[in-house]
Amino acid sequence: MLSLFLTYPDWIDPYVISGVPIRWYALMYLVAFFVAYLLVRYQCRHDGVIEMDAEETQSLFFSCCLGLLIGARIFSVLFYSDGLYYITHPWMIFWPFRNGQFVGLPGMSYHGGVVGCVIGGWIFSRRHNRSLLQMTDLATAGIPLGYTFGRIGNFINGELYGRVTTNPLGMIFPLAEPFSSYEPWVRDVADKVGLEYEMGQLLNLPRHPSQLYEALFEGVILFLILWFVIRPWKIKRNLPHGTVFSFYLMGYGIFRFFIEYCRQPDAPIGYVISLGDGSGNIALFESFLNISEGQIFCLLMVVAGAALLGIILMARRNYDSRTAGKAQKNSQRKRH
């Protein structure tokens, strides 16, 4: 029987060196931060819109990264975890050990990371007398390229895979949750992709490699748009600070919203809005009308980005009008 799916490469090892507890996942995130840092330094040297030395840039990154980690963890606890447990055990929110083993921070929310990063940038801006919107433009122009490496790290780790699919791009991840072949839908998927099985067997079905989808769209493509289109446009037209950040929020929110249809919602939460068919089975995509919590946050990002863009452009227009009015009055006074 012809197999219509991909198998996760067996040569991929999540550890950089076998036997040494250093994962490619962690290394990729360090690369992501370093790439974002280099792109910020490039803008400071070549764009001519801001002067910031390496020490101040490092201070900006420290504030933003610290805010990112705190915000991502708190959002995960509030919206994706057992909130009651953490209310009674608040010290466990940032405790990196479980059952005597180091596990890091189990559960991080991207959207919470954005909020925390902005707060960190605001604190930096207050301390260094900088414009917050200018700092956000400076950082977000290069963030998507760094984000690409983070999602590649998720793929190497074999985690954050998507829903079950019969698409030829579907991939069988070794750590994915198996399903019982007693379920009719499981047998239907297995038959369509050419997966052999016996009745009662637990089947590991092909899933969307959604980490790679995100690396491409939320990473590479969004970076190309911001870096080579929006950033030069802002510099050439002298657009207000916050323009790049606005397009980042809208671009990421739109890309992530649609990729979420390929990602499986968290099991305890499921769909926040269930207006379509098949909402009881979160492992399969059944309807565009079934909306996850992550998609709600993405829509809020799009709305926030559009609102911010409208506000800063309106403020610039009003400022230009007032400036032109004053210039005209001064000209008239000189004539008289």
Global pTM exceeds 0.75: yes
Residue 291's beta-bridge partner residues? 273
Cα–Cα distance for residue pair 66/181, rounded to 1 Å: 46
For Cα atoms 256, 8, 209, give the angle at the middle one, nearest 5 degrees. Answer: 10
pLDDT at 253: 97
pLDDT tens, the chain, 336 aa long = 567 789 999 888 888 887 777 778 788 888 999 999 999 999 999 988 888 999 999 999 999 999 999 999 999 888 888 777 888 888 888 888 877 776 667 778 999 999 999 999 999 999 999 999 999 999 999 999 999 998 999 899 888 899 999 999 999 999 999 999 999 999 999 999 999 999 999 999 999 999 999 999 999 999 999 999 999 999 999 999 999 999 999 999 999 999 999 998 887 788 999 999 888 899 999 999 999 999 999 999 999 999 999 999 999 888 778 877 776 777 666 666
Q: What is the pLDDT of residues 292-305, one digit of tens each?
A: 999 999 999 999 99
| Strand residue runs (E) in the chain | 6-7, 97-98, 101-102, 171-172, 179-180, 202-203, 271-274, 290-292
pLDDT at 335: 64
What percent of the chain lies above the pLDDT cut of 70?
Answer: 96
pLDDT at 278: 84
pLDDT at 90: 86
Q: φ, ψ for residue 269 (rounded to 5)? A: -100, -45
pLDDT at 91: 84
pLDDT at 98: 78
Contact 133, 174 (CB under 8 A): no
pLDDT at 70: 94
For Cα atoms 24, 34, 21, give the angle at the middle one, nearest 5 degrees. Answer: 25
Burial class (CB in 10 A: 0-12, 13-18, 19+), 86: middle
For the chain, the C-alpha Rg in angstroms (whole number) is: 24
pLDDT at 80: 86
Contact 210, 259 (CB under 8 A): yes
Sign of CA dihedral 131, 132, 133, 138: positive
pLDDT at 266: 83
End-to-end CA distance of the chain: 93
Cα–Cα distance for residue pair 245/251, rounded to 1 Å: 10
